[in-house]
Amino acid sequence: MRAGLVTPHTELAARVLCNATPTQVFEATEAARNAPFADGDVPNYEQWRQRIALRLTEFQNAKP
């Protein structure tokens, strides 16, 4: 999204894999990155990845 490389197959992949639009997926990853990270044993990258996975699961479980 940031680079402006949204193509028709990007739209299709986002819909099929995430039940979302590319914009929704982008916003989910940005929100996950911008949220504060907890100190502890879980690295920041893993916290970010888990947040994204949780949000994408919510998209997948949403009714069309």
pLDDT tens figures, 27-62: 999 999 999 999 999 999 999 999 999 999 999 888
Computed from CA positions of residues 37, 13, 56, 40, in that sequence, does the dihedral angle turn out positive or negative?
negative
Alpha carbon 36 to chain centroid distance? 16
CA–CA separation, 10 vs 16, rounded Å?
Answer: 10
In this prediction, residue 62 carries a pLDDT of: 82
Q: For the whole model, what pTM was predicted?
A: 0.81
For 28, counting Cβ atoms within 10 Å of its Cβ (0-12 exposed, 13-18 middle, 19+ buried), the class is buried
